[in-house]
Structure 1
Amino acid sequence: MSPQNLSETNEKVALVRLASHIALWGNLFLASLKIGTGLLASSLAVLGDGIDSSTDVIIALMSLLVAGIIARPADRKHPWGHGRAETIATTILSFILFFAGAQLMLRAGERLFSLGDTRVPPPLVLVVTLCSILGKLFLAWSQMYLGKRANSAMLKANGKNMLGDVVISSGVLIGLALSILFHLPILDPLVAIGVGLWVIRAAISIFWEVNTELMDGNSDPELYQALFEAVRSVPGTVNPHRARMRRIAGLWDIDLDIEVNPELSVREAHHLASLVEQAIKERVDGVYDIMVHVEPEGEAESHPTEQYGLREGDEK
């Protein structure tokens, strides 16, 4: 890893730790407030909102653990470094959210079909839920802002989850207000079921996003276009092929083959490959490593159906 990438990694670790501490203590306060209020007021909607915030506490603890792992330098067992820990943690996060949402829906379903339950939550739950909305707005902003600065998929996913929490709490607030105003106890479990569905939807969305990185995929054709444009900008290099890009902790690991004049010396061909690497770094932000394989011009024609990577034109 280059000194520049090492500096970027250290800065990322510091930002992840800061965001994690903010999320940890903020969500711990909100979760305690909502779970306590939900139990005292017998409101499944508020209790479910609190359970959702408690999962954010677990996420924050996980983020702190991951920050320590990704800060470790590459070693013999992990020559690409430890950045994949963030991807794994984000995947675990999606499963935690999914099961929390499913558990809430089960409890709400039991309450919904429980005959004779006519309890209506007290007005206090409205004040608590409103405070939760304001607190979550701040926490969501902090995670998205620091996630963007750190280029952290985990923090961005957490910020997205917290924005979803704002929507959840807003729905809870409206449902509780209607329940209290019109004395409709059935609205409390119905709102709780809606909260559970929203949490499950967010979990599935996060899983599919991180799955692309976990499977070494890249769905952005513009990045490959920038890659091929970089090759075209270097005179003497042609036919970029077997191009592959994958993310490692927010940085790009890039492999590609190029062709050069077969009469060039090894030193001259290496110089052209170095120019291609520099041209790529000028066009693609956040490059972790680049591997440029040099072939004599016309060599790729003997392998028309290569199994791996993209040729120029495949990205369109």
Structure 2
Amino acid sequence: MVASFIIILVGFQVLTSAFTSFFEGTAEAPDLIAAWTGFFSALIMYFVYRYNRNLAWKIKSHSVMAAAKDNLSDSWVSIGTAVGIIGSQFGLPWLDPVTAFIVGGLILKTGWDIFREASHQLTDGFDVDLIKEYNETICNIPGVKGINDLKARSYGNNIVVDCVITVKPTLDISTAHDISTRVEDKLMQEYDIYDVHVHVEPD
């Protein structure tokens, strides 16, 4: 959540600088070596972004994914800086503020995306499509007549599911327990869910 606010502030700062630069102009064009340094930095940050993004997918970490998006924003800033420097070298001073406007907009979008995902997770929001998949999987398990309730939430990097299934009222306790165990095992194995709590009710 804090990272998203920082990125948004950086985006506003880039846009403000671009606006100021557009009307004031630049007094001196930076050396071309600064542009190559910017491109090199952008390339390095892009590889860092790719590494952190893949790591986030592997360990299912929203925090690492937020860090990866922050790395991508750094890469955009470096590219924007390099393009602006090259533009000033070729007598195109307007290219710097225009590029800064674009980069600033991209950074703001990144910050907003991180904020939206963090807010969704903190309010126990969950992927609706995954809930539908869980529902279909549970209903296809023999012995399950229906689902009265199904909830899922993220617990750190893991997923926890709570559901209430209905079974035939004539079933004995042992059989009903076996059905609930099959539901738990199926969800945990098929979707790599950390923990599943199943409650059984007669229909």
Same fold (TM over 0.5): yes
1:105 equivalenced with 2:15 (yes/no): yes
For the residues of structure 2 that align with 1:137 and 1:210, how far apart are their CA atoms? 23
Deviation (angstroms), 1:142: 1.6
5+ long unaligned stretches in structure 2: none
Q: 1:224 aligns with which of 127, 131, 136?
A: 131
One-letter code aligned to 1:241: N
Aligned to 2:169: 262
Paired with 1:121 and 1:148, the residues of 2 have a C-alpha distance of: 40
Distance 2:83 2:50 in 1: 23
1:214 and 1:96 mapped to 2: Cα distance? Answer: 18
State how far apart, in whole Å, the 2-side matches of 1:190 and 1:234 are.
Answer: 58
Q: CA deviation at 1:111?
A: 3.5
Structure 2 counterpart SS, 1:234: coil
- Distance (Å, rounded) in 1 between the aligned partners of 2:72 and 2:21: 27
1:142 pairs with 2:56? no
State the Cα deviation string for residues 2-21 of structure 1 (Å, max 9, x = none).
Answer: xxxxxxxxxxxxxxxxxxxx
Q: Which residue of 2 aligns with 1:181?
A: 90
Matches within 5 A, 1:20-39: none
Q: Distance in 2 between matches of 1:280 and 1:190?
A: 50
Deviation, 1:95, is 0.7
- 8 Å contact kept, 2:83–2:99: no
Cα deviation 1:27-60 (Å, max 9, x = unaligned): xxxxxxxxxxxxxxxxxxxxxxxxxxxxxxxxxx
In structure 2, the residue matched to 1:192 is 100
Identity between Structure 1 and Structure 2 (%): 28
Among 178, 181, 193, the alignment partner of 1:271 is 178
**How does 1:38-57 map onto structure 2 within 5 Å?**
none
| RMSD of Structure 2 on Structure 1 (CA) | 2.2
Aligned length: 203
SS at match of 1:259: strand
The equivalent residue for 1:292 is 198
Q: Which moved more, 1:263-272 or 1:139-148?
A: 263-272
Aligned mates of 2:110, 2:125 — CA distance in 1: 21
- Return the offset for 1:94: 0.6
**Aligned residue identity for 1:204:** W
Distance 1:180 1:289, change over 3 A: same
Q: Offset of 1:186 from its aligned partner?
A: 4.0
How far does residue 266 in structure 1 lie from its aligned partner after superposition? 2.9
CA shift digits 1:95-115 (9 cap, x unpaired): 110012212322333333337
- Secondary structure of 1:236 counterpart: coil
